[in-house]
């Protein structure tokens, strides 16, 4: 499990073992403005999404890549239609990043770099879709009913066949059977009401690619396991409807478990962050 601290003049990623003890610290001398999400590429590289913009005042947002040896790279990006606050990063099976904005009206934009990322100059993002959310009635979170519309995190399953986007109160599961994340996000998702949390802004898949792991921003934190249903993945899933595939892959069982940090590592990425104010 990974926990990010973006305070001070460097960024630290804490690798936690299954007893919630710090097993390793990866540190890089970069000073991000507001890291809001984290993803791990197939080669183990961590992608830190420096995309928070509460005031809508940033000229650029950024992605930082961080290797196990602390080697870091910075890639700045610009939106084509003005500043956006965002807290969700998805990294598709091919390693293409997608940002999902945090829109107070529930129409969150999906953006991806229009060309190769460059460490020398900003790359323009292009809007490739939107995630249209509606009130759900699910309670929890710091923003009341508005929290049902605000995208606060996202993750891909280890095998790249599922994507999940969360709000403060609910999770939305998308099947990605062919690796086409842009197309997957245009299909109706499977909605999952989440258990109440203080400020739920982190979500990840467990190593089995089915169970979901949830936690809140800040310290201290607990990790909640939302278990998948027992049904097997259906044969011919890639040719079935995307929403049907998503529903069959993850149907939460009754009850959840509070795990602390007693979770498997492997492909698991869970985020706990300190937000910079201002």
More confident residue, 276 or 156: 156
Q: What DSSP element (H or E) covers 40?
A: strand 35-40
pLDDT exceeds cutoff 80 at 240:
no
**Is residue 146 helix, strand or coil?**
helix
- pLDDT for res 23: 75
More confident residue, 231 or 17: 17
> How confident is the model over 100-110, as a mean pLDDT?
91
The angle subtended at Cα 154 by Cα 99 and Cα 186, nearest 5°, is 65
More confident residue, 240 or 82: 82
pLDDT exceeds cutoff 90 at 79:
yes
CA distances from 258 to 74, 197, 226 (A): 36, 12, 9
Strand order in the sheet with 61-66: 35-40, 46-50, 61-66, 72-78, 123-132, 107-113, 97-101, 86-91
Rounded Cα distance between 160 and 52, Å, is 25
pLDDT exceeds cutoff 80 at 234:
no
Strand order in the sheet with 212-216: 200-205, 212-216, 223-226, 257-260
Band (68; pLDDT cuts 50, 70, 90): confident
> How confident is the model over 75-96, as a mean pLDDT?
96
Share of the chain above pLDDT 90, in %: 50
Extended beta strands in 51-157, E state: 61-66, 72-78, 86-91, 97-101, 107-113, 123-132, 151-156
- pLDDT for res 4: 67
- pLDDT for res 75: 97
Fold held by 2-260: Neuraminidase (2.120.10)
pLDDT exceeds cutoff 70 at 238:
no
Per the listing, tokens 């249209």 go with 132
pLDDT digits (tens, 9 = 90+) for 114-172: 999 999 999 999 999 999 999 999 998 888 899 999 999 999 999 999 999 999 999 99
Rounded Cα distance between 90 and 83, Å, is 19
Q: Where are the domains of the chain?
A: 2-260
Q: Tell me if 98 sits within 8 A of 90, measured CB to CB.
A: yes
pLDDT digits (tens, 9 = 90+) for 185-230: 999 999 999 998 888 999 999 888 889 989 887 667 778 888 875 5
- pLDDT for res 6: 64
Band (53; pLDDT cuts 50, 70, 90): very high
pLDDT exceeds cutoff 80 at 266:
no
- pLDDT for res 272: 42
Rounded Cα distance between 25 and 39, Å, is 17
- pLDDT for res 181: 95
pLDDT exceeds cutoff 80 at 64:
yes
């Amino acid at each position: 499990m990974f926990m990010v601290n973006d305070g001070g003049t460097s960024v630290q990623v804490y690798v936690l073992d299954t007893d919630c003890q710090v097993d390793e610290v990866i540190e890089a001398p970069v000073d991000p403005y507001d890291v809001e999400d984290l993803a791990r590429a197939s080669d183990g590289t961590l992608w830190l999404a420096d995309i928070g913009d509460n005031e809508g005042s940033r000229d650029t947002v950024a992605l930082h890549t961080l290797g196990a040896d602390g080697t870091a790279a910075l890639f700045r990006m610009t939106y084509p239609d003005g500043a956006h606050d965002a807290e969700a990063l998805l990294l598709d099976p091919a390693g293409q990043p997608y940002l999902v904005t945090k829109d107070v009206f529930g129409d969150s934009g999906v953006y991806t770099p229009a060309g190769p990322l460059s460490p020398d100059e900003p790359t323009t993002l292009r809007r490739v879709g939107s995630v249209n959310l509606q009130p759900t009635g699910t309670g929890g979170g710091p923003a009341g009913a508005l929290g049902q519309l605000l995208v606060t995190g996202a993750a891909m399953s280890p095998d790249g066949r599922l994507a999940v986007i969360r709000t403060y109160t609910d999770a939305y599961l998308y099947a990605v059977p062919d690796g086409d994340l842009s197309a997957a996000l245009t299909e109706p998702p499977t909605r999952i009401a989440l258990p109440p949390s203080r400020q739920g802004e982190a979500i990840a898949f467990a190593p089995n690619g089915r169970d979901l792991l949830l936690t809140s921003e800040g310290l201290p934190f607990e990790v909640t396991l939302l278990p998948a249903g027992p049904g097997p993945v259906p044969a011919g899933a890639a040719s079935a409807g995307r929403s049907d595939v998503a529903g069959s892959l993850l149907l939460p069982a009754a009850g959840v478990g509070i795990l602390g940090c007693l979770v498997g590592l492997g492909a698991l990425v869970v985020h706990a962050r300190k937000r910079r104010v201002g």
